[in-house]
Structure formats: structure tokens, C-alpha cells
Amino acid sequence: MTHASEAHRWADQLDDLVARIAPRFSRVEPRRRARAYLQGLLSPLERKNGWHLAEAAGDASPDGVQDFLARMHWEADAVRDDLQTYVVEH
């Protein structure tokens, strides 16, 4: 398998995962933040703190990451359950 095809497969799987958890977020912005957050966690970043995840997402500060984790409304337990189910299936 080539690096390009492997990268494409990973991107498709991330899209599938995000589609699965998307209904747990009431608005578009938290959905976008969730995708960027997951993408950052799955990235080869050495440190995965708010600053580094924000920079990887193209943000100038960690405010968006912090808002997502602390203030945006989403069903954290349901997202966790969806992620567990996804991992078991794959």
C-alpha cells in the first residue's frame, strides 16, 4: 500500500467517524471543532496540548480548543460511547 493510498484511507475513516458523532453536536461549529480536535489527536504532534492542537488546526490561539472542551454544549458520554463502538467495529 502506498503512502498516498494509506493517507486517503485514514482520511476516509476519520470522515466516517466524524459522521457518526456529528449528531451529538447541536451546531456546525462544535462539529468542526470535534473534527479538528480528533485530527490533532491522531496527528504525529509530539505534544498534544491546547496550543499545539490549535496550531495544527490553523488557529492563532488555543481559545477555540478550550471553548470546545469547556464551554460548547455536546453530549460527551454519547460521543464516548460512539467512539467505543467505532473502535470495536474497526
Q: Would you list the domain boundaries of the chain?
A: 3-89
pLDDT in tens, 11-36: 788 889 999 999 999 889 889 999 99
Q: Is the pTM of this model over 0.85?
A: no
pLDDT digits (tens, 9 = 90+) for 30-63: 899 999 998 898 888 899 999 999 999 999 999 9
Q: List Cα–Cα distances, 83 to 7, 32, 55, in angstroms.
A: 20, 17, 24
Q: Which long-range contacts (CB under 8 A, 24 or more apart) does 76-85 make?
A: 78/24, 79/21, 79/24, 79/34, 82/20, 82/21, 82/24, 83/17, 83/21
Q: In this structure, what C-alpha cell is assigned to residue 19? A: 459522521
